[in-house]
Amino acid sequence: MTAAVEFIGVSRHFGPASAPVKAVDGVDLTIAEGSFFAMLGPSGSGKTTCLRLISGFEKPTGGAIRIFGQDVSNVPPNRRNVNTVFQDYALFPHMNVRDNVAYGLMVKGVDRRTREARAEDMLALVKLDGYGDRKPAQLSGGQRQRVALARALVNEPKVLLLDEPLGALDLKLREAMQDELKALQMRLGITFVFVTHDQSEALSMADSLAVFNEGRIAQIGTPAQVYAQPRTRFVADFVGSSNVLSPDVTRAFGGPSKWSSLRPETLRLVPADGLALAGTVTTIRYLGANSRVSVNLLGTEVAALLPAGQTAPEPGATVGLSFDPTALHVMDEA
């Protein structure tokens, strides 16, 4: 499969050479054409800087960036076939929706009749038929997000960059827009590169994802691979919820004396009679669809999820812990 975007040893440093801040530090990355790729990580991990490097708003300190095989490391943003959707949407308040969408075509010198027709086509694509005459202030947050998306797509980019575009939306609307974005990407078949710090967004939408930490990629793979087989303690802690077990506790669970990950949904609470793995319930948190039960085992808090409707033990009760041995994932030492 053709690579839409490639990073080859890419770095981006800020500040003096004697003591640089390494926002991106020697990243190697390949994003397949037509894929929905997510860059996931906490604030300051380097994911947004990587997006800006793809768009051309930042230049690499070292390494090379290729878009569809062309080295674009020193190519200005307006000469790259990519567009960006920002978190704040950056719509022009004095323009109506149609003119906002058509703005990029106007800059390129496309005649008014053609650009307005193409803008209307894009509005129909994002389900905003008939909204062209409205001003951005007359739209909801979700509608403004769709306008920003239409404006980015009207120029027919080969790569669409999305910088936390759902961050300003409420939970229910954000979940609805996740479904719409994924469906739109599949329909158009272009490469989406999506930056987020929200694990659920990355896991639910991406074909593959990279987890960033301190300017480097901690792990890359499909959502299922990253979730079920985290390489490091950082990935296990950051992606979803996990019991990160020390070597001593891993050994008690029947594994080797190494750090391991055990997801709460793989643990079952059973009667403690005759079981070697038994602990004391410390807290219970009701989460709606399930309850999170924390158990103190060998001085370590281990969490298990109980489905809704199942009676939870009282705090202070002694319980046994049972799980499928294949759910215990041994990680790298890092």
Is the dihedral angle over the CA atoms 226, 24, 27, 178 positive or is it negative?
Answer: positive
pLDDT at 168: 67
Q: Phi and psi at residue 310, in whole multiples of 5°? A: -90, 130
Q: Which of 73-77, 162-166, 167-171, 303-307 has the lowest mean pLDDT?
A: 167-171
pLDDT at 200: 86
pLDDT at 310: 83
pLDDT at 134: 93
Mean per-residue pLDDT for 54-58?
95
Burial class of residue 299, CB neighbours in 10 A (0-12, 13-18, 19+): exposed
What percent of the chain stands above pLDDT 90? 58
The pLDDT of residue 19 is above 90: no
Burial class of residue 253, CB neighbours in 10 A (0-12, 13-18, 19+): buried
Is the distance from CB of 106 to CB of 115 less than 8 angstroms? yes
pLDDT at 241: 86
pLDDT at 276: 66
119-142 pLDDT, tens digit per residue, is 999 898 888 888 999 999 998 888
Tokens of residue 108, six digits: 């390129």
Is the distance from CB of 293 to CB of 312 less than 8 angstroms? yes
The pLDDT of residue 334 is above 60: no
Provide DSSP, 14-30.
ES-TTS-EEEEEEEEEE
3-state helix, strand, coil in the chain (%, to 5): 30, 30, 40
Compare 243 and 1 and report the one with higher pLDDT: 243
Is the distance from CB of 192 to CB of 183 less than 8 angstroms? no
Mean per-residue pLDDT for 288-306?
91
Instruction: Please report, for residues 93, 240, 282, 288, the alpha-carbon distance to residue 293 in angstroms, rounded to integers and kept in the order given.
Output: 49, 16, 8, 13
pLDDT at 250: 92
Mean per-residue pLDDT for 36-51?
94
| Local structure of 306: helix, strand or coil | strand
The whole-angstrom distance between residue 233's C-alpha and the CA centroid of its chain comes to: 18
Task: Give the DSSP H or E segment for 305.
Answer: strand 300-307
pLDDT at 174: 79
pLDDT at 125: 86
Q: What is the pTM of this model?
A: 0.88
What percent of the chain stands above pLDDT 70? 98
Provide DSSP, 33-48.
TT-EEEEE--TTSSHH
Identify the structural domains of the chain with CATH numbers, from first to last.
3-235 (3.40.50.300), 244-330 (2.40.50.140)
Q: Phi and psi at residue 107, in whole multiples of 5°? A: -60, -35
pLDDT at 13: 94
Mean per-residue pLDDT for 87-104?
88
Tell me the pLDDT of the chain averaged across its residues: 90
pLDDT at 311: 83
Mean per-residue pLDDT for 316-328?
91
Adjacent-strand bridge partners of 7: 29, 65
Compare 267 and 180 and report the one with higher pLDDT: 267
